[in-house]
Amino acid sequence: MGKKMCWAVLIFTIALNVVMLQWTVVAYLGREYDLVVTYSSIGVLGAVIAFLTYLRWRKVEYRSED
């Protein structure tokens, strides 16, 4: 996975987390607690993917060019 692909995945997962946070709050305030768990789980999974992608990007970006 190249640098541009890492950036695309990072931007997508961060946008996904923003949407999931908003949907989680709306579901919580609407007392739809089953949706809160679903949206929170998707958000956590997106955060894990974003973190792993960041680690991959850092490895690709700063690898030595011997």
Q: How far is residue 56's CA from residue 28's CA, in Å, rounded to a whole number? A: 34
Task: Kindly report, residue by residue over 15-64, the tens digit of the pLDDT.
Answer: 999 999 999 999 999 999 999 999 999 999 999 999 999 999 999 988 86
Angle, CA of 26, 28 and 32, to the nearest 5°: 100
pLDDT of residue 24: 97
pTM for the whole structure: 0.86
Q: How far is residue 60's CA from residue 53's CA, in Å, rounded to a whole number? A: 10
Asked whether the beta carbons of 7 and 57 are under 8 A apart, the reply is yes
Asked whether the beta carbons of 41 and 17 are under 8 A apart, the reply is no
Q: 1 pLDDT band (50/70/90 cuts)?
A: confident
Q: 2 pLDDT band (50/70/90 cuts)?
A: confident
Q: Note the residue count of the chain.
A: 66
